[in-house]
Amino acid sequence: MVRVFVNATSAVLGGGITVLRHLLATFPAVDDGEGLYTVICRREVSREIDPGHKRVELLTQDLSTSSPIKRVWWEQLRLPSSLGAKFDVLLSPANVGVLAARIPQVLVFQNMAPFDARVRRTSRLQGRVRLEGLRLMGIASARVARRVVFISDYARESIARQAGLAADKTVRVYLGRDPAFAPTPRERIDGVLQRYRLTTPYVLSVSHFYHYKNIVELVRAFALARTGLGSRVTLAIAGAEHEHDYAAAVRRSIADAGIDDCVRLLGPVGSADLPALYAGATLFVFPSTCESFPNILVEGMASGAPTLSSREGPMPEIAGSGAAYFDPFDPSDIAATIVRVWKDGDEAKRLRSSALARVRDFSWERTAQGLLDALRCATSFGRE
């Protein structure tokens, strides 16, 4: 048996929890019975990631009210002493590893923001300090890890260069796709739209509110595109308002453009409703400028929505021919792309077909197998 310890205390919301939930459910299904997994996570997320499998043990740590300094102290000083000889390998799945770990460690980089100079430069002072601290911790973690996993080639090239990592120490493993995201029956779509008081046709964007998600530019683009779309079209934006200042800027941009009547801020949308919300959209637009692996982009493509995407970062790598691309910093280019695909039914059908073919390349079984290979490589356990 390979005894794997997973430090999941950095998983607080969104993509980090999604990744852990799928991995912990999939590891035991693909490891031929050779793995035991002990996972430490925050108490408030333990129910969300518990796969209920006999070879997965969940431990909880109450860090919700701890200061960042206390959290770092616990992770870097207290946690190493508890690992001891009980485990064969440590998996750190969220950018920051345990620097003094006494066992081989595999580090996974999921968050690109600390390594994006533009994101750091355009953040407020407190955010810049935090991101720079995370960048330095990530680099230090990568240097002590036995194996470093990146979830796109784009992230691998950028972060490995900043960290000075040798190519043979790194590996790229794409994340998977939740099979719940798939084309949805019309009656299911209608029920979800009724619940959110949303009518067709609508252009959809899904994103938590962070400044690098480029929601302000999307709003401005939609204002420019309206004359080419028709007056009945709605821009629907789903996501939690994590950066309150940026959320206020989004609302100001809506008011300044005079389009309050045709923009809906839906707030957080539950995962059960998202597939139908994607599938009911005439177009799905993904304007983000900073991603490591854009889960939301894959979800929209898998749900059958004709997809328009930022051409920055790993988006073309992930979406391939399944999206039409635009310059996310140029509202006029976003608007022109929206109008072109809106009016061209053949292109919309082609994008939909290409996207559904592309997302077949992403599965959690492949992701779990890739990470298990990295763990075996780090420990020299298991099959070669």
pLDDT digits (tens, 9 = 90+) for 221-253: 999 999 999 879 999 999 999 899 999 999 999
pLDDT tens column, 292-327: 999 999 999 999 999 999 999 999 999 999 999 999
Instruction: Please name the CATH architecture into which domain 2-175+363-379 falls.
Output: 3-Layer(aba) Sandwich (3.40)
Rounded CA gap, 336 and 320, in Å? 20
Nearest to 324 by CA among 289, 349, 361: 349
Rounded CA gap, 43 and 5, in Å? 17
Provide φ and ψ at 239, rounded to 5°. Answer: 155, 155
Predicted pLDDT at 253: 98
Cα distances (Å, whole numbers) of residue 372 to 23, 89, 124, 174, 364: 10, 11, 38, 13, 12
Asked if domains 2-175+363-379 and 186-361 share a fold, the reply is: yes
How buried is residue 171: exposed, middle or buried, by Cβ count under 10 Å (0-12/13-18/19+)?
middle
Residue 80 is inside which H or E element, if any?
helix 79-83
Predicted pLDDT at 66: 64
- Whether the per-residue pLDDT at 170 is higher than 70: the answer is yes
Predicted pLDDT at 13: 66
The pTM of the full predicted model, rounded to 2 decimals, is: 0.94
Contact 295, 175 (CB under 8 A): yes
Indicate the average pLDDT of the chain.
Answer: 93
State the average pLDDT over residues 265-270: 94
- Quick one: tokens of 262? 């045709």
State the average pLDDT over residues 122-126: 92
Nearest to 15 by CA among 246, 318, 239: 239
Contact 125, 140 (CB under 8 A): no
**Peptide bond preceding 201: is omega within 30 degrees of 0, i.e. cis?**
yes
Gyration radius from the chain CA atoms? 21
- Greater confidence, 18 or 70? 18
Question: Tokens 């997302």 map to which residue?
Answer: 359
Q: Quote the CATH superfamily of domain 186-361.
A: Glycogen Phosphorylase B; (3.40.50.2000)
Can you give the residue ranges of every domain in the chain? 2-175+363-379, 186-361
* Percent of the chain predicted with pLDDT > 90: 84
Rounded CA gap, 289 and 327, in Å? 9
Predicted pLDDT at 11: 76
